[in-house]
Amino acid sequence: MAISQVRQYGDPALRMRAAEVEKFDGELRTLAERMTALMHEADGIGLAATQLGILRRLFVCSLDDEDTAIVNPVLAKTGTEMGTDEEGCLSLPDVRVTVERPVAVTLEGRGLDGEPLILVLEGFSARVVQHELDHLEGTLIIDRTDPESRREALRVLRPRLALQR
């Protein structure tokens, strides 16, 4: 996989909800390995399958310098404390916006072999998995920021969108 395969703002796949993964097999493992390699090649910290146009509920991320693949993730619990920080996205180049999210979350899902996973996360790691989970729902960081930041981000993205056509 090449960095050029990461779908960019304006691609319809980025706005679609991904389907549950039903088969836990070598193909899924290979996809996750390729996604992880691409994530590192692009200097990212997370990558959702939808960012490659693959509408399956899978994302990879680097949590505390450990690569993790999470299949069929759901937010089981969110803390009440909210935190605001700047986020970027491989699908929205040159855009960074402020996003408010719960500081602590419990994420449930499955590993690549289908085994249940429960991750209790705080701070930056919690932010990363929420960002990637948003991708699987068709939600982008510009949907979660304030109106002025969204307008500014769209000013950056629209000229690129015109070049893609």
| Active centre residues (catalytic) | 132
For residues 11, 58, 3, 127, the Cα torsion angle rounded to the nearest 10 degrees is 90
**Which of helix, strand or coil describes residue 100?**
strand
* DSSP code at position 155: H
* Percentage helix, strand, coil for the chain under 3-state DSSP, each rounded to 5: 40, 35, 25
Measuring CA to CA, how many Å separate 11 from each of 23, 102, 138, 140, 148? Answer: 26, 28, 11, 12, 23
